[in-house]
Amino acid sequence: MTQKRKDPSPYSNLLVMTVRPLDDNAALVLFSGGQDSTVCLAWALTRYGRVETVGFDYGQRHKVELECRQNVLDVIGKDFPEWAAKLGEDHVLQLPALGQLSNTALTRDVEIEMTGSGLPNTFVPGRNLLFFTYAAALGYRRGLGRLVGGMCETDYSGYPDCRDATLQTLAKAIQLGTEADFKIETPLMQRDKTETWSLAAKLGGPSLVDMIIEHTHSCYKGDRSQRYEWGYGCGSCPACELRARGFHAWRENESAQLADETS
Ligand SMILES: [Zn+2]
């Protein structure tokens, strides 16, 4: 006699499945060489015993970020011995299909502008969903239970794949789809750029702030010919403006605080 199978709720499986053991004290950081992912890397290195990094090469118009990421890793290895001891392998995954699918200012030689949908044309549709899914596949192999990314709801014109609800729903799908207890962590989700600079100072003091200024990259145009107080860039694209504005606001807060303490 064939027994009719009870149709299970997709989530009830979570309670009985054989969960692949992942190390809760080990993280994989989505690391692009930009300011945000560098702060996330520092954040993970202060929290977890083992941290690996993953970068994605999908035909970005400017390879400069990928070069910056190597420089950041080199400086951590040299100047931050406590963090260097926890920093494990760096992985770069080639995702040429993403470049092929996107017609945006990051991958093609076009000007950055707002589109009819209210999003800037720098938006690569669903990019972070793919990044985290690939990160989970890699984390599964490496036994890394925490997936960390620098997405943020407060800046960047409301990219829908940067929202907390999107990413926590994706985390559920990844848990179900891998039968492994991955957690997605986004320490910058509710922080604006001013608070990101301040977090960097808190995590690694002036040497981390200096390293971010010198070695990380934000400029949409890939311009590193001019050096400002806040780092290299064209100084006028939305990414440079955001970074500069955040830096100056953070500096002002710092001096105001110092003045308060010494008065
Ligand atoms: Zn720029």
CA of 254 to the centre of ligand 1 (A): 25
User: Encoding tokens for residue 238?
Assistant: 């939305």
pLDDT of residue 72: 97
Distance in Å, CA 236 to ligand 1 centroid: 5
Query: What is the CA(78)–ligand 1 centre distance, in A?
Result: 28
pLDDT 10s digits, 199-255? 999 999 999 999 999 999 988 888 999 999 999 999 998 889 999 999 999 999 988
User: Which tokens hold the place of 129?
Assistant: 């969903």
- Which pLDDT tens digit goes with each residue over 138-153? 999 999 999 999 999 8
pTM value is 0.86
How far does the centroid of ligand 1 lie from the alpha carbon of residue 229, in Å?
14
**Rounded distance between C-alpha atoms, residue 104 and residue 111, angstroms:** 9
Ligand 1: centre distance to CA 181 (Å): 39
Rounded mean pLDDT, 254-261: 84
Give dist(CA 186, CA 226) in Å, integer.
31
**Confidence at 58, pLDDT banded by 50, 70, 90:** confident
The CA 24 to ligand 1 mean position distance, Å, reads: 37
* pLDDT reported for residue 16: 52
- At 173-206, the pLDDT tens digits run 999 999 999 999 999 999 999 999 999 999 999 9
Q: Measuring CA to CA, which residue among 33, 250, 24, 238 is closest to residue 123?
A: 238
Tokens for 100? 């092929």
* Greatest distance between any 2 Cα atoms in the chain: 85
216 C-alpha to center of ligand 1: Å? 13
- The CA distance from 16 to 19, in Å, is 8
If you measure from the C-alpha of residue 96 to the centroid of ligand 1, how many angstroms do you get, rounded to a whole number? 24
For the chain, the average pLDDT equals 86
32 C-alpha to ligand 1 centroid (Å) = 16
pLDDT at site 262:
80
| Nearest Cα residue to 91 out of 59, 139, 48, 45 | 139
Q: How far is the CA of 34 from the centre of ligand 1 (A)?
A: 12
CA of 106 to the centre of ligand 1 (A): 12
State the DSSP string of 154-166: SSGGG-GGGSHHH
Whole-number pLDDT of residue 38: 97
More confident residue, 189 or 103: 189
CATH number of 22-192: 3.40.50.620
Q: Rounded to the nearest whole angstrom, what is the distance from the C-alpha of residue 222 to the centroid of ligand 1?
A: 7
Helix H or strand E encompassing 183: strand 183-185
Please tell me the distance between residue 189's alpha carbon and the centre of ligand 1 in angstroms: 22
DSSP 84-125: HTTEEEEEEEE-HHHHHH--STTTSS----B-TTSSBTT--T
Single out the residue of 165, 174, 127 nearest to residue 147, CA to CA: 174
Mean pLDDT of 70-88: 97
Question: What's the 162 CA to ligand 1 centre distance in angstroms?
Answer: 21
Distance 62 CA to ligand 1 centre (A): 12
Read off the pLDDT of each residue in 77-81 and give the average, rounded to a whole number: 97
pLDDT band (50, 70, 90) for residue 260: confident
Domains of the chain, by residue range, sit at 22-192
Which residue from 102, 204, 192 is spatially nearest to 154, judged by alpha carbons? 192
CA of 207 to the centre of ligand 1 (A): 24
Distance 19 CA to ligand 1 centre (A): 45
Q: How far is the CA of 238 from the centre of ligand 1 (A)?
A: 7
CA of 48 to the centre of ligand 1 (A): 33
